[in-house]
């Protein structure tokens, strides 16, 4: 829906996103919000991710001096992860996330700021998760090259192809459907309506879960063959599984 089809901004500023429960009045000025807690959680995990990524890159580049493509894919995933966190923080600060929906004025969701953040969140999240999976698969390929373990290598190549094909297609679809156009007052294109975004999200979530299972199905049997203590094997698999979640 274009802005020309909507009530004027001053009316949208007084309309809640959802009707409040009986006996409750909308509070647009100082509503209770979960945003502070969400900001704290994002900040903590973002810091942990950055510290871990920097430590990995430092070890591979400065100490081992053998940085591989898997490390650079991890760096790319980290960069997009930082971008996703930044966008999520901005959406929390804008007031769209956190309060009850009846305490959020409808105008928030028709501002250029919100629509820009929504587009970037839709675009960057699959890129971050896709690069993370590719990094894991490349790491498996580094440990189990084709000469040493042909079956694992071919399964890894298949996973790399599936991941690359899916996330490339999803990125192109997001650009085509949801890139903001000039002359639309900062709004997303009409074809990028909630139903289209929901369909993209459902497809992304379903295939993303299937790819997670595939990566784990390739990684766990391969890692179990390593000549290390069983406790260490379990630890590595748990860390990998946690990362996939």
pLDDT digits 0-9 by tens, 95-145: 888 999 999 998 888 888 888 898 899 899 989 999 998 998 898 888 877
Tell me the three-class secondary structure of the chain, residue by residue: CCHHHCCCHHHHCCCECCCCCCCCCCCCCCCCECHHHHHHHHHHHHHHHHHHHHHHHHHHHHHCCCCCHHHHHHHHHHHHHHHHHHHHHHHHHCCCCCECHHHCEHHHHHCHHHHHHHHHHHHHHHHHHHHHHHHHHHHHHHHCCCCCCHHHHHHHHHHHHHHHHHHHHHHHHHHHHHCCCCCCCCCCCCCCCHHHHHHHHHHHHHHHHHHHHHHHHHHHHHHHCCCCCHHHHHHHHHHHHHHHC
pLDDT digit string (tens) for 38-85?
Answer: 999 999 999 999 999 999 999 999 998 888 999 999 999 999 999 999
Predicted pLDDT at 79? 97
Check residue 209 and give its pLDDT: 86
**Is the confidence at residue 197, as pLDDT, over 60?**
yes
pLDDT number for residue 218: 81
The residue among 122, 168, 129 whose CA lies nearest residue 49 is 129
């Amino acid at each position: 829906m274009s802005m020309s089809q909507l009530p004027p901004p001053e009316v949208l500023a007084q309309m809640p996103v959802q009707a409040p429960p009986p006996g409750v009045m909308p509070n647009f000025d100082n509503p209770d919000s979960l945003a502070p807690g969400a900001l704290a959680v994002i900040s903590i995990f973002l810091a942990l991710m950055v510290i871990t990524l920097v430590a990995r890159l430092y070890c591979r580049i400065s100490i081992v001096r053998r940085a591989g493509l898997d490390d650079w894919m991890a760096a790319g995933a980290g960069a997009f992860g930082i971008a996703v966190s930044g966008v999520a923080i901005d959406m929390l600060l804008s007031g769209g996330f956190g309060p009850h929906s009846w305490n959020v004025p409808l105008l928030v969701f028709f501002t250029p700021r919100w629509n820009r953040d929504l587009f970037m969140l839709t675009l960057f999240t699959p890129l971050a998760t896709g690069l993370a999976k590719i990094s894991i698969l490349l790491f498996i390929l580094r440990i189990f090259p084709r000469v040493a373990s042909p079956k694992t290598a071919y399964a890894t190549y298949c996973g790399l192809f599936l991941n690359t094909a899916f996330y490339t297609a999803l990125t192109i679809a997001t650009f085509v459907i949801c890139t903001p156009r000039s002359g639309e007052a900062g709004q997303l294109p009409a074809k990028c309506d909630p139903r289209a975004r929901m369909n993209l999200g459902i497809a992304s979530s379903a295939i993303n879960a299937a790819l997670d299972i595939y990566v784990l199905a390739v990684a766990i049997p391969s890692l179990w063959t390593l000549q290390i203590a069983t406790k260490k094997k379990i630890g590595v698999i748990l860390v990998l599984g946690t990362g996939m979640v």
